[in-house]
Amino acid sequence: MKTKSYISLFAVVLALLGAGSANAAGLLTPKGQSSSLNIRDHRVNVVVEDGYVVTEIDQVFINTGGSDVEAVYSFPVPSHAAVAEFTYWIDGQPVTGEVLEKEKAREIYEEEKQAAKETEDEYAGLVKRMQDVLGERVNSVRVSQRLTDSPSCLVMGEHDMAVHMQQMLKQAGHEVPPSKPDLEINPSHTLVSRLKDEADDDRFASWSNVLLDQAMLSEGGQLDDPVAFVNRLNDLLLEMTKPA
């Protein structure tokens, strides 16, 4: 389950040793906004090797919003320097960057962006159907562009408390303000792709609720009705193991 997105960026910059100074801080700015995302952590390590200055920059940005944003990362590379390595992590998932010509990089980016939009359009019917089934249990259902292994996850609102923190406070006897998460589904996961083609309404409702409950449990939350979850799961397992 996602509560807030953490984006960790690691860059290695090589530069000839010489006079002058350089900044070692990048900014991650959402498109259409003047202010950048908040920096949660910023570390710089500088080593001189054979006449070169090797600067390693490790930054962690936080997106406190309840949805994905399209952002531009800008970094002041000195005129005689070059980026040797660039890797970023989104919620623990690493992606290694490749240095390309600006036009080629823009072309690839636009292709990926269009592919993501086509996926969202393809799963729009499933999203609406799940939203109708889950009703007041969630704030919304949407297609995720960041999940790789899990079929679903939860995203809390900007001002909402993480589910495991809510659980800890409840166990300590504190009142916790009610909140409804957003459910993100992974279109590349087999369960989600099969759910898209599920014609049986009862089975569809069971799978939708199971995906939501699993996402809640994976974050350390507690189900309002654990018996219903177990019954749904048992019914689905029995259905899958019936003789053909």
Does a structural domain hold residue 113? no
Backbone phi and psi for residue 38, each to the nearest 5 degrees, phi listed first: -65, 140
Does a structural domain hold residue 67? yes
Q: What is the pLDDT of residue 125?
A: 96
Confidence of residue 32 (pLDDT cuts 50, 70, 90): confident
- Identify whether residues 33 and 84 lie together within a single domain: yes
User: What digits encode the pLDDT tens for the residues 150-175?
Assistant: 899 888 765 556 666 766 666 667 67
Number of domains in the chain: 2
CB-CB contact of 170 with 205 (8 Å): no
CA-based R_g, the chain, Å: 22
CB-CB contact of 140 with 182 (8 Å): yes
- Residues 18 and 53: their CA atoms lie apart, in Å, by 9
| Last residue in a domain, options 100, 132, 149 | 100
Q: What is the pLDDT of residue 206?
A: 94
- Identify whether residues 91 and 129 lie together within a single domain: no
Does a structural domain hold residue 115? no
Q: What is the CATH number of the domain that holds 198?
A: 1.20.120.790
Confidence of residue 60 (pLDDT cuts 50, 70, 90): confident
- Identify whether residues 136 and 220 lie together within a single domain: yes
- Identify whether residues 26 and 125 lie together within a single domain: no
- Identify whether residues 83 and 135 lie together within a single domain: no
User: Does residue 118 register a pLDDT over 50?
Assistant: yes
Cβ–Cβ contacts within 10 Å for residue 42, how many? 14
- Identify whether residues 10 and 88 lie together within a single domain: yes
Does a structural domain hold residue 168? yes
- Identify whether residues 126 and 236 lie together within a single domain: yes
CA 28 from chain center: how many Å? Answer: 16
Q: Give the mean model confidence (pLDDT) for residues 141-147.
A: 86
Domain that holds residue 56: 5-100
Does a structural domain hold residue 29? yes
Which residues, in sequence order, are bridge partners of residue 155?
2, 182
Q: What is the pLDDT of residue 44?
A: 84
- Identify whether residues 139 and 229 lie together within a single domain: yes
Q: What is the pLDDT of residue 23?
A: 56
| Last residue in a domain, options 71, 100, 129 | 100
Q: Give the mean model confidence (pLDDT) for residues 211-223.
A: 86
- Residues 147 and 222: their CA atoms lie apart, in Å, by 22
- Identify whether residues 71 and 152 lie together within a single domain: no
Q: Would the pTM of this model clear 0.75, i.e. be above it? A: no
- Identify whether residues 127 and 227 lie together within a single domain: yes
Q: What is the pLDDT of residue 3?
A: 40
- Identify whether residues 126 and 205 lie together within a single domain: yes
User: Does residue 131 register a pLDDT over 90?
Assistant: yes
- Identify whether residues 130 and 168 lie together within a single domain: yes
